[in-house]
Amino acid sequence: MGHSLVPVKLALLLSWATGCLVGCVGTPVADVDAVREQVDWKTDQALASFIAEMPELQQRLDTAPGYIVGTTDILLLGPLGGGTSVAVLHDQRNDTQTYLDIHSVRMGLGIGARAERFVAVITDPAVINQIRRGKWLLQSNASSNVGGSDEQMRSGSAGIELFVSSETGVSAGASMDISQVRVNHRLTDTGLSQYNFPNRYSSHDSNSADAPRYWNHPLPFLGKQAVARGYDLPMPFGIGVLRADVRQDMRIENLQVGFNGNGTRPYQFVSFGADSDLITEQIKVDAWVLPFLNLYGTFGQVNGDLDLDIQLDGDTMLNQIGRDCSGAIRPPVCYLFEGKQVRFPIDVDLSPINYGAGGVVASGWRDWFLLVPFNVTWTDSDKTTLEGRAFTVSPRVGRGFALNRAGRLTVFAGGNYLDVRTVAAGSLAIPGTDQVLDYEVDQSNSDRWNLVTGANWDVTPRLSVMLEYDGFIGTRDAFISAVTVRF
């Protein structure tokens, strides 16, 4: 036999490899089939060599629920090293193939380079599921080889039997290996969307026998059926941070006024204007519960200012505070307010907590997409300066563009409907008097609709960055940014 065969632990196998398929993530669609054929040819050759050298291996493969076959290139150079690996997981329970990215960093002592091939016979089906979910592994390793011979540390593992053969190279060393194994979604065609919304391509109308489509996540419900029909789906869960800077004109109604903490009652007034300038920072948690429906919750805090400019009738105000201005000796407050229209600028410093819930109805076709986000947000202040709710619906359409290794960029435009209903309450010392004006006023945004445009950069299927501007028409201007991690 031309090469030595050594059964070792699966973790040791994974620590040897470094994910040579990572570059395939950015491979253009037209080249994916060619790359897949090259990987299949290389791993088939490796498996054929093993069976020729060890005929009894074929029987083990035939009875196993699955196996991994691949080739590895390893470089050892002083205290650092690493490896790249081509690997294919064959699941014989449903006759599917999963292409793997395996990459590792080696820290220890070593020198040289070598090429290996390996076959891992899996006897425990749970191992297949673990590999598909992704793994980080830490493993010690010691090996040496000259040409096609090698000597390596052995260890056993439940549910796995690994055979390794060194083909070329000269190397020796001992190291601690940190390895990551994950599914290559471009080659495997697992139904994972490169965008943060479901998308369908005509190329998915028929499944390739070399890369059948499957969905290996608990959500969304009916996700497997959607993938089988040709849809790519986002990772089901997400957590992100969001910041919104919003300035808008407000309408004020139903003013109630009181003095010195003695309660408030309705008061006739004239409004010269009201506006709010707010910054909201939120944490958002979401899940795709159905292939085309995402639900989420938010929690955060508002910081900013609410400016109200109102005019009160001085005579009515004097009457409410019980001041008689008809006598010979008049209180000083009479000189300030009698027969006058008094203007009060009210500036409220806000820092309430807000929380909300909402969803997104979404679908895409060949990089074009339609999204309809909706949500309700409640504001609750422990200072009772601002309480209320806001309802938003924001239909938008857009298109995605491939950036090769830099991910995907989507641009969108649409409309935004925002209905804010809040109650502002507080107190204001009246200049030149010992009186305190207590007020409570209902407010709502002056303009419900405005236009929306923005972009979303899906750096990877797990990481996205979004920027959005709401404005163009009406009196509202808003800048929104968000970073989301999916898993």
pLDDT band at 26 (very low <50, low <70, confident <90, very high): very low
Q: What is the largest CA-CA distance in the chain?
A: 124
- Is a pLDDT exceeding 60 seen at residue 207? no
Q: Do 158 and 286 belong together in one domain? A: no
d(CA 391, CA 43): 56
Q: Do residues 247 and 477 make contact, with C-beta atoms less than 8 angstroms apart? A: yes
- pTM summary value: 0.70
- Is a pLDDT exceeding 90 seen at residue 331? no
Q: Do 439 and 292 belong together in one domain? A: yes
**Which of these three, 188, 216, 247, is where a domain ends?**
188
Q: Is 205 left (phi over 0), alpha (psi -120 to 50) or beta?
A: alpha
279 contact partners, CB below 8 Å, separation of at least 6: 243, 244, 245, 246, 302, 303, 304
Q: Do 68 and 207 belong together in one domain? A: no
- Is a pLDDT exceeding 70 seen at residue 147? no
- Is a pLDDT exceeding 60 seen at residue 406? yes
* DSSP H or E segment with residue 73: strand 66-91
Neighbours of 284 (CB within 10 A): 19
- Quick one: what percent of the chain has pLDDT higher than 70? 78
Q: Do 243 and 224 belong together in one domain? A: no
Q: Do 356 and 435 belong together in one domain? A: yes
Span 30-59, pLDDT tens digits: 467 788 888 889 999 999 999 998 899 999
Structure tokens at 362: 């979404």
How many structural domains comprise the chain? 3
Instruction: Report the range of poorest mean pLDDT among 22-36, 226-240, 348-362, 378-392.
Output: 22-36
Q: Do 298 and 425 belong together in one domain? A: yes
Q: Is 254 left (phi over 0), alpha (psi -120 to 50) or beta?
A: left
In a domain, 143, yes or no: yes
In a domain, 1, yes or no: no
d(CA 467, CA 410): 11
Q: Do 365 and 457 belong together in one domain? A: yes
d(CA 247, CA 381): 19
Q: What is the amino acid identity at position 415? A: G
In a domain, 321, yes or no: no
* Structure letter (DSSP) for residue 125: H
pLDDT band at 17 (very low <50, low <70, confident <90, very high): very low
- Is a pLDDT exceeding 80 seen at residue 245? yes
- Is a pLDDT exceeding 70 seen at residue 141? no
pLDDT band at 145 (very low <50, low <70, confident <90, very high): low
Within 13 Å, how many C-alpha atoms sit on residue 268's CB side? 5
In a domain, 334, yes or no: no
Predicted confidence at residue 24, as pLDDT, reads: 41
Q: Do 168 and 207 belong together in one domain? A: no
Q: Do 106 and 64 belong together in one domain? A: yes
Within 13 Å, how many C-alpha atoms sit on residue 377's CB side? 23
The larger pLDDT score, comparing residue 101 to residue 354, is at 354
Paired sense of beta strands 368-380 and 386-393, if any = antiparallel
- The stretch 299-318 carries a mean pLDDT of 84
Q: Do 203 and 101 belong together in one domain? A: no
Greatest mean pLDDT range, 144-158, 273-287, 320-334, 371-385? 273-287
In a domain, 421, yes or no: yes
- Quick one: what percent of the chain has pLDDT higher than 90? 35
Predicted confidence at residue 397, as pLDDT, reads: 98
Predicted confidence at residue 121, as pLDDT, reads: 92
Structure tokens at 110: 């070593």
Predicted confidence at residue 427, as pLDDT, reads: 83
d(CA 66, CA 134): 17
Question: What 3-state DSSP class applies to 247?
Answer: strand
Give me the DSSP letters along 389-422.
EEEEE--EEEEEEE-GGG-EEEEEEEEEEEEEEE
Structure tokens at 331: 């209180």
- The stretch 189-208 carries a mean pLDDT of 76
Alpha carbon dihedral 242, 248, 252, 258, in 10-degree steps, equals: 60
Structure tokens at 69: 């076959």
Predicted confidence at residue 7, as pLDDT, reads: 38
Structure tokens at 467: 């920027």
Q: Do 78 and 140 belong together in one domain? A: yes
Domain of residue 444, CATH code: 2.40.128
Its domain, for residue 428, covers: 237-255+267-310+342-486
In a domain, 157, yes or no: yes
Q: Spell 373-396 as b/e; 16+ CB within 10 A means b.
A: bebebebebeeebbbbebbbebeb
d(CA 138, CA 9): 12
In a domain, 333, yes or no: no
pLDDT band at 74 (very low <50, low <70, confident <90, very high): low
Q: Do 215 and 271 belong together in one domain? A: no
